[in-house]
Amino acid sequence: MLPLVKTSIPAKELLMPRLEEILYSGYIAQGEAVEEFERKFEQYIGGGNTLSLNSGTAALHIALILAGVKEGDEVISTALTAEPTNTSIKSVGAKIRYADVDIETGNISPDSIEKNINENTKAIIVVDYAGIPVDVKRIKEISEKYGIPVIEDAAHALGAKFNGKKTGNHFPFTIYSFQAIKHLTTIDGGALQILDNDLYEKGKIIRWFGLDKKLSRMDNNITMQGYKYHMNNVNATVGLAQLENIEELVQKYINNGKYLDENLKGVQGVETIKYYPNTEASYWLYTLKVENRDRFIKKMAENGIMASELHKRNDLHTFLNDFNSELPNLDQFYSKMVHLPCGWWVNKEDCDKMISLIKEGW
């Protein structure tokens, strides 16, 4: 079965000597390897400050704190995402106000964001779902108009671009996941890309119990709630090895995604995604809309291809449904949405097989 997702690990001869060196170095906690990973990740992104963390969920939590979200506030978000996007909102005591999606992309609708803004709105979370960039231009305009900060959840979208710049350069806060099956994995981990230097320094203190690592324990004075969210040298060493080949790796996803886009346009029973102007998806998953999704998934499985909607829409979780909002576009999009594999493990022969099967009908 051609899997929908698959972990990419550097070659044994590249990774294992480095891991052995760090494991027996006498220092495996947060140290020089973490610092090096952060600086090299910043170079890859092309801007901002990288706060490395033990998960993308930790990155979301810290972003919400830095954005000033507190108990009783509201955060506008999307229900089409992995659950941590929205469980993080609950972790700061805030309520989730769902905006509807754009029927063409499945991403959060700027018009719906604006309609849902009220006096309790303190932040907006947008998700580049499956690697499809959001409407950056419109969302930035709304953010500036109302003075509400935007947190971009780019867990699926490492290497995706708007106006030639990668995610991480467009909003005050951008989160990444380095969990096992993402474009880049540190086995587990994440990062928060922060544009403001002062907020970055504050983020470093929140990351480590509220302690300032530049000072000794005796000279520290905790003035805010902190957490144990840091990355360690072992995870960072895996990440450093991954970064050496990250452009080539992400490009494999993009090449496969574009090839599928080109060859599935106009096929009966299929709607391909219409991307926003000046954007380039990173295709963590290949997304399309199909008629009779269950039959489509069954036919793919019978022919050795995994296809799935993958994520449960978050408003179906009782804990994550604060306002029971009507989301007609999401209803329609989600009923047809399906994902196909298009990552580094997928070759042209696999793509041609998927295209042929789809053109046959189901």
Tens digit of each residue's pLDDT, the chain (362 residues): 999 999 999 999 999 999 999 999 999 999 999 999 999 999 999 999 999 999 999 999 999 999 999 999 999 999 999 999 999 999 999 999 999 999 999 999 999 999 999 999 999 999 999 999 999 999 999 999 999 999 999 999 999 999 999 999 999 999 999 999 999 999 999 999 999 999 999 999 999 999 999 999 999 999 999 999 999 999 999 999 999 999 999 999 999 999 999 999 999 999 999 999 999 999 999 999 999 999 999 999 999 999 999 999 999 999 999 999 999 999 999 999 999 999 999 999 999 999 999 999 99
Name, in order, each residue with C-beta under 8 angstroms of 33's C-beta and a sequence gap of 6 or more.
22, 233, 236, 237, 240
Q: Which of the residues are catalytic?
A: 182
Give yes or no for a contact between 279 and 262, defined as CB atoms under 8 angstroms apart. no
DSSP 8-class letter at 52: E
CA distance 171 to 180: 25
Residues facing residue 152 across a β-bridge? 126, 174
Distances in whole angstroms, Cα of residue 339 to Cα of each of 75, 262, 290, 308: 28, 16, 10, 5
Phi and psi torsions of 173, nearest 5°: -135, 130
Would you say the C-alpha torsion 86, 123, 76, 341 has a positive or negative sign?
negative
CA distance 147 to 145: 6
Max distance between CA atoms of the chain, in angstroms, equals 71
Quickly list DSSP for 165-234. Answer: EETTSSSSEEEEE--TTSSS--SS-EEEEES-HHHHHHHHHHHBTT--TTS-TTT----S---B-B--HH
What pLDDT was estimated at residue 37? Answer: 98
Q: At what angle do helices 12-23 and 233-243 cross, to 10 degrees?
A: 150
Domains and CATH numbers, the chain: 12-242 (3.40.640.10), 245-360 (3.90.1150.10)
Q: For residue 144, what is the enclosing H or E element?
A: helix 136-146
How many other C-beta atoms can be found within 10 angstroms of the C-beta atom of residue 38? 18
Give yes or no for a contact between 52 and 236, defined as CB atoms under 8 angstroms apart. yes
Q: In the structure encoding, which two tokens stand for residue 31, read together?
A: 């140290």
CA distance 79 to 359: 31
CA distance 162 to 185: 23
Nearest in space to 89 (alpha carbons), one of 80, 98, 119: 98
Q: In the structure encoding, which two tokens stand for residue 225, read together?
A: 């709630």
Q: At what angle do helices 56-66 and 84-91 cross, to 10 degrees?
A: 40
Q: Is the pTM of this model over 0.85?
A: yes
Quickly list DSSP for 253-286. Answer: HHHHHHHHHHHHTT-TTEEE--PPTTEE---SSE
Phi and psi torsions of 304, nearest 5°: 80, 20
Give yes or no for a contact between 296 and 273, defined as CB atoms under 8 angstroms apart. no
Q: How many residues does the chain have?
A: 362
How many other C-beta atoms can be found within 10 angstroms of the C-beta atom of residue 111? 13
Q: For residue 121, what is the enclosing H or E element?
A: strand 121-127
